[in-house]
Amino acid sequence: MASLRAFLPLALCLLISHQTFAKNDAPCQLSNWKSGFNTFLKRHLRSDTPPSEDKNQWEDYIKTHGGCDRPTQSFLPTSDEARVKAVCTNKGGAVYKDNLCISREPFTFVTVRSAPGTCGIRSVTKETKHLILACEELSDQCLPVHFEGNPTGATPARNAKGCQETRSSDAAASFKTTWIWLLLAVLVIVYGFQR
C-alpha cells in the first residue's frame, strides 16, 4: 500500500508534465526555443553564400562557416526573407502536418549535400520547390524555426487551412487536453488514497 501511495504522486507529475515536453502538434503555437528564428536565419538565409554551384567554393564555405556535421543544408537568398516569414501566415502558407507549414508558392534555393562526418561536398543543386517550414510563435509572431526537406516535391493541399488558422483553436484544445490529464490524475490519486 505504501508503494502505491509513493507511485501515485509520481504518476501525477508525469501526467502533468506530459504536455510540457511534447512537440507542438500544430503551427504557430508558443515555443520555448526563443532563439529558433535567429538560428533559422543563420542556417538558411545568409548573405555570404557562394554565388555559383561550384563544389569547391561550397566546401570552403561550409568549412569556414561551420555545418560539416549537417549532411544536408539548404540556403535561400536573403532577398526572400519576407516571403519566407510569410510561409508562417495564412496568406503565404498552408498547414502541412504537425507544426509544419508549406508555402503556397515555390521558392528557388540551393541544397548542399556532404558526405556524413566530413565536409566533402557530394552535390550542390539549385532547386525550385514549395518550402516546408516548422512555424512557432515567438514574441507574439509566428516565425519559421526549422527547414524541413521536401524530397517528393509536395505542394499545398487545395483545401488546406492557412498556417495561422489553427492558432486559437489548437491553443484551446491543448488547454482542454491538459485539464483532462490533470483531472484524470486527481481521480487516480483520490481513488488510490481511498483504498
Q: What is the CATH number of the domain that holds 139?
A: 3.10.130.10
Whether residue 21 sits in one domain with residue 5:
yes
Specify the pLDDT at position 78: 96
For 106-148, the DSSP string reads EEEEEEEEE-TTS--EEEEEEEEEEEEEEEEEETTEEEEEEEE
Whole-angstrom distance, CA of residue 100 vs CA of residue 169: 16
3-class secondary structure, 189: helix
Whether residue 174 sits in one domain with residue 105:
no
Whether residue 42 sits in one domain with residue 125:
yes
Q: Are 134 and 89 in contact (CB under 8 A)?
A: no
Distance (Å) of CA 154 to CA 10, 26, 106: 44, 18, 10
Q: Judging by DSSP bridges, how do beta strands 29-30 and 121-138 pair with one another?
A: parallel
Number of domains in the chain: 2
Q: Half-sphere exposure of 54 toward its Cβ, with a 13 Å CA cutoff?
A: 8
Angle between helices 2-21 and 167-194 in degrees, nearest 10: 180
Which of these, 107, 126, 116, lies nearest to 53 by C-alpha position? 126
Bridge partners for 113 per DSSP: 72, 123
pLDDT tens for the chain, residues 1 to 195: 454 454 444 443 444 444 444 468 899 999 988 999 999 999 999 999 999 999 999 999 999 998 889 999 999 999 999 999 999 999 999 999 999 999 999 999 999 999 987 889 999 999 999 999 999 999 899 999 999 999 999 999 999 999 998 654 444 444 444 444 444 454 445 555 565
Residue-range definition of the domain harbouring residue 156: 32-161
Bridge partners for 123 per DSSP: 113
Whether residue 121 sits in one domain with residue 39:
yes
C-alpha cell at 189: 490519486
Specify the pLDDT at position 143: 97
3-class secondary structure, 47: coil
Whether residue 99 sits in one domain with residue 21:
no
Exposed/middle/buried for residue 21 (C-beta within 10 Å: 0-12, 13-18, 19+): exposed
What type of residue is 87?
V
Bridge partners for 147 per DSSP: 133
Which of these, 147, 143, 145, lies nearest to 76 by C-alpha position? 147
Whether residue 57 sits in one domain with residue 124:
yes
